[in-house]
Structure formats: structure tokens, C-alpha cells
Structure 1
Amino acid sequence: MSAIWLKILPYIAALLLVAGALFGAYHHGVTVTTDEWQAKWSERDSRDEAAQAANEASERAKEQARQLAINKVIQDGQQIIDRATADADASRASADSLRVAADALAHRLTAGGASSHSCTAAASAAANRAVMVLADVLKRADQRAGDLAGYADQSHSRGVTCEQAYDSLGK
């Protein structure tokens, strides 16, 4: 039996040598393929990172442009509001002169001589009270109208500013 083994042993050794060579070739092929795929994945990952960085830079630039547009709208709106406030102040000053004139007119009308006749004096007192009430109503109405005009101007200016800020976001 040992003679059979001695005859088969070179064939077994050759078979093992061929199997070892085939396994080595297979292992080398797997390693090369893995390295190729790893290189492709690394290249894809670097392209993705570059695209992400470019996208982030683009979005940052858009965001900064939007913020600059909003800041300009806010600045312009504040100038409009400041002008409206200055106009309201000027209007109040002219209204004050109107109130002073109404007071002077009411004082002049009420200071007009009192009659010695009791009917004329009573009628004159009633007319004086009516003039005073009318002058007071005129002053209050003018003051309230000025306040409401100021609020309306500011509200309109703020609304326009808000609308422009919103419109600038769509660009």
C-alpha cells in the first residue's frame, strides 16, 4: 500500500500546488477588485463632498443676498417712517397754531361786551358757552385727526416695508 501512496503522492502534491495557485489567483483577483471599488467609492465620496461644499457656498451667498435685500428694505422703510413722523410733528405744530387761533377767536367772542339787559345777557352767555364748546370740539377733533393720520401713515409705511421684505425673499 505504501507503493501506491508513493505513486499517488506526486499527483496529490501537484493537485495541491494547482489548488494553491488557483486560490492565490482568486485571492489576488478579489483584492484587486476590492481596491478598484474602494478607489471608485473614494472618488465618488470626494465628488459628493465637493458638490456639498459648492452647494453650501451657493446657499450661503443666496442667504446673504436675501439678508442684504431685507436690510435695505428695512432701512428704506425706517426712512419712510421717520419722514411720516416728521410730517406728523409738523402737522401737529400747524394744528397747534390753529388751536391757538380758535382759542383767541373764542376769547374774543366771549369777551365782547355783556349787555345790561337781562335777556341779552342770558343769550350772550349761552352763545359764549356754545362758542367755547365749539372751539373745544374743534381742537379735540383736530388733535384726534392728527393722531389718527400719524398712525395711518406709520401703519402704511410698515405695511409697505413688510410687503417689500416679503417680495425680496422670492427673488
Structure 2
Amino acid sequence: MSTWALRSVALLLVLASYWSAYQHGRSVERTDAALSASHRDTGDRLAEVLGERGARQEEQRRAEAQEEVRAHAKQEHQVAHAGAAGTDAAGQRLQHDAAKLAATVSCPGPDTAAIARAQAAARAAMVLSDLLARADARAGELAKAYDRARIAGLACEASYTALVK
């Protein structure tokens, strides 16, 4: 073989070895990149799963807190309703007693001036009894409205506090 052919074969072998070393390096680099991408993707999936789990737990906690607030508000409404019923009964007894008192304010007797005064006093007592009944009814309405507003405000505050906790 000629030296030129030997040199060409040697050059070809050197080029082939460089080329295969280059290709091997690229292959190793691709494998490393794929491995790191796989690790990154696995970490991302794990973080996503943990994030979803945490979000679900937070959503569940908030829902439970909201339900607890609703149940507490319902109990408060029941207590307020029971208190209002007792107050209404007491108010009705007071109105009944005032009406009885107004009806009994009369002075039967022979003196016409005393009878006129007694009739005027009975009318005044009836007016005052009616005024007391109206005032008591309005006070009951206002108390019920106040109770509803207070309970709703406290429930709203508790609900907000549970959400931002």
C-alpha cells in the first residue's frame, strides 16, 4: 500500500474516532438532559399534586368553618326567637293589665262631675293603654330587627375571619 493510502486511511480513522467521540458526547448530553427533565417533571407533578391537596384541604377547612358559622347563627336565631316569644308574652300580659286598668277606671256615683271626670280618665287610660300597646309592638319589631342584624353581622365577621385564617 502506498503511503498516501495509508495516510488517507489513518486520517479517516482519526476523523471517524473524533466523529464517534462527538456522537457519544451528544448522546450522553441528551441522556443527561432527558434525565434532568424527567426529574424536573416529576418534581413539578409532585408539587402540583401537593398543591392540589393543600388547596382541597384549605377549601374543606373553609367549607367546614362556613358550616360552623351557619350552625352558630341558626342557634343564635333560635335563642333570639325564644327570647322574643317570651318578651311578646310579657308585653301582651302588660297590655292586658293596662286594658283592664283602663276599663276599671270608672267611678259610679251620684255626682255627675265625678262621673264626667271618671269618663275622661277612662278615655285617657284607654288612649294610654293603646299607646302602650303600639309602643310595645314597635319595640318588639325593632328588637327582632336588631337581633337579626346583630346575628347576621356576627356571622359575617366570623365567616370572614374563618376565610382569612
- Letter of the structure 2 residue corresponding to residue 108 of structure 1: T
User: CA contact under 8 A between 1:81 and 1:158: conserved in structure 2?
Assistant: no
Superposition TM-score, scaled by structure 2 size: 0.85
Match of 2:128 in 1: 134
Report the CA distance between 1:167 and its aligned residue: 2.0
Larger radius of gyration: 1
2:90 equivalent among 71, 88, 94: 94
> Is 1:146 aligned to residue 140 of structure 2?
yes
Match of 1:3 in 2: none
Match of 1:157 in 2: 151
Superposition TM-score, scaled by structure 1 size: 0.83
Report the CA distance between 1:140 and its aligned residue: 0.5
User: CA contact under 8 A between 2:102 and 2:126: conserved in structure 1?
Assistant: yes
User: CA contact under 8 A between 2:105 and 2:118: conserved in structure 1?
Assistant: no
Change (3 A) 1:159 1:124: same
> Is 1:35 aligned to residue 31 of structure 2?
yes
Change (3 A) 1:154 1:115: farther
Match of 2:163 in 1: 169
**The residue matched to 2:105 in structure 1 has which SS?**
helix
User: CA contact under 8 A between 1:69 and 1:165: conserved in structure 2?
Assistant: yes
CA distance in 2: counterparts of 1:129 and 1:115, whole angstroms = 20
Match of 2:101 in 1: 105
CA distance in 2: counterparts of 1:116 and 1:41, whole angstroms = 114
CA distance in 1: counterparts of 2:76 and 2:137, whole angstroms = 22
Report the CA distance between 1:44 and its aligned residue: 1.6
- Listed as ranges, the gaps of 5+ residues in structure 2 are none
**The residue matched to 2:108 in structure 1 has which SS?**
coil
- Letter of the structure 1 residue corresponding to residue 36 of structure 2: K
Report the CA distance between 1:85 and its aligned residue: 1.0
- Letter of the structure 1 residue corresponding to residue 130 of structure 2: D
- Listed as ranges, the gaps of 5+ residues in structure 1 are 1-5
> Is 1:55 aligned to residue 58 of structure 2?
no
Q: Deviations over 1:25-48 (max 9, x none)?
A: 201210111111111110121012
1:19 equivalent among 15, 18, 31: 15
CA distance in 2: counterparts of 1:114 and 1:90, whole angstroms = 41
User: CA contact under 8 A between 1:95 and 1:142: conserved in structure 2?
Assistant: yes
CA distance in 2: counterparts of 1:45 and 1:15, whole angstroms = 44
Aligned length: 164
**The residue matched to 1:63 in structure 2 has which SS?**
helix
User: CA contact under 8 A between 2:108 and 2:115: conserved in structure 1?
Assistant: no
